[in-house]
Structures are given as structure tokens and as C-alpha cells.
Amino acid sequence: MAVEGIRTICVVGAGNMGHQIALNAALSGFKVQCTDVKPEILKKAEDFAASYLPDRVAKGKLTEEQAKAARDNISFTGELEVATRNADLVIEAALEVLALKRKIFKQLDELCPPHTILATNSSAIISSKIADATKRPDKVINMHYFNPALVMKLVEVVQGPHTSDETTQTVMQVCEALGKIPVHLKKEIDGFLVNRILGALMREAMFLNDMDVASYEDIDKAVVYALGHPMGPFRLMDLTGIDLTYTMSMERYRATGDPGNKPSPAVVEKYVQGEWGQKTGKGWYDYTKKG
């Protein structure tokens, strides 16, 4: 299937990543169905689109016509059957839990037309762990966006041993049509490209903090002002969600049995306390204080 065959995109999961992926696709001219099992999450996603588009017009980033076209392109529904009915491509953006993703992909395989490509936005779970939940493993692939999905340009396209070359090339072309820069991983590897590199930095940053060598604030400053990163690892953790850091670490630990993959004690403490970063108002940093 060439990119011309991709006209309608379904995004499963309307959380922080999902609703931005959906809006990116709508802005790029695709018809989009965004779905979630939680009505409150779906409402927040719809409210985001309703505020984001006029704001971009006010800032001169979009014309009134472009904003209207994008809003007309995107629909929100709590019914998976409705969302997938005419989908040419599905992008799953649910929680990073393997059992949940396998359940979703089994449902998608049953509901979607035979030609539909099924992509997971997972940053940690390779699609070969999901593909056999479907009867179309050649059409299952990783399509990993970065947060915030409306801003970050890179998408990692990971081709599993089950994924056809045709599926891979179609997804690469779709990424370009979405205004993204795709990178092709020719084989599956834990952490893909970016997170393998970032993971090494994160582990060392957490070690330095846990050992009280330096405060998390000073570690962030060192990474920003010496290495030139836009933000330090602790600020980045607040942005992506400390709950995500915890969940991914626990999934990796369960898969490997290696105690070194367990989350840092400091991460566990914040996870248990519900201090998950920007989404809860407090993580490593306090976002309830102005300035």
C-alpha cells in the first residue's frame, strides 16, 4: 500500500500523546478518529483541540481556513468499532503495558478492514510482542512519536521480523506526509535509537541523585548548560510523566528479571505519592507555583 492509500487514521488512546498525534494528522489533511475508553480523557482531548487551533490562529501560525479544516478532519468517539470502521492506519497510544496492548491489537484486528496497518506508538514494547495477537503480523509495526507530538519532528519506525517492507515504506511515507522526519530501524532492539542513548544518560543522572553526589536541579543544569540539551533529565521526566518512567522500568524488569532495570527508589516514591510531573502539578519540580 502506498501513502496514497492512507486517507483515514484512527488513534487509540486520547491521552497526552494520543490527542496530539491525532491533531497532527488532522492538521496534515488526514481524516482522523480519536478514541478512548475513558470519557473524561476523550473530553479533555476534544477540549484541547477546541482551544489549540484558535490559539494557533491568534499567534499567526495557522489561518482560519487551516484551523477549520483541521477541526473538520478530526472526530472523537468512545466507540472503538466506530473509530476503526474506515481506518487505513491505526496508531495505538495506550499505556505501556504489554497485556493491554495485546488485547487492543486483537480487537483492532477483528474490527479493522483487512488492508489496515496497525501501528503502536510504544517507546519500549517491540511490535513482535504484539503481532501474533493479530492475523496480519505483516501489517504490525512500531511508529514511535516523541513528546510533545505536535512539536517534535522525529518518528522512529521500527521494522520487526514480521513486518513487510511494503508496510514499513508506507509508514515512512505517512510520517513525511505528517511533516515528520522518520528514521528506519531495520531490526528491533530494546529502547530503539533515542531512548537507548537517553536511557544511559537517565540512569547515570538517577545514580548521581540517589547517591547524593548532586541535587537533581544541578544535574539538570549540567546537562543543559554543558551538554546543550534543551532540558535536563529530571525536567524531561516531569514532562513525559514519572508514572511512565515507573511503568516502563517495571515492564523492563518483569521482562528481564534484572534488578538493575527496577525504577530508582526516588522514582518509586514519587510514583506512590502521585507526584507524576506536570500532569499532576508536581514531580521533581513544583508546577503550582507561578514563575
The catalytic residue positions are: 123, 144, 156, 195
Q: Which of 269, 53, 248, 24 is nearest to 149 (CA)?
A: 24
Euclidean distance between CA atoms 51 and 56, whole angstroms: 9
What Rg do the C-alpha atoms of the chain give, in angstroms? 19
**CB neighbours of residue 99 within 10 Å:** 7
CA atoms of 121 and 130, how far apart (whole Å): 12
- Cβ density class 124-139: b for 16+ within 10 Å, e for less: bbbbbbbbebbebbeb
Residue 242: other Cβ atoms inside 10 A = 28
- Rounded Cα distance between 165 and 264, Å, is 39
Q: Which residues contact 196 (CB under 8 A, 6 or more apart)?
A: 189, 190
**Are the C-beta atoms of 96 and 248 separated by less than 8 Å?**
yes
Cis status of the peptide bond prior to 233, with omega within 30 of 0: no
CA atoms within 13 A on the CB side of 149: 26
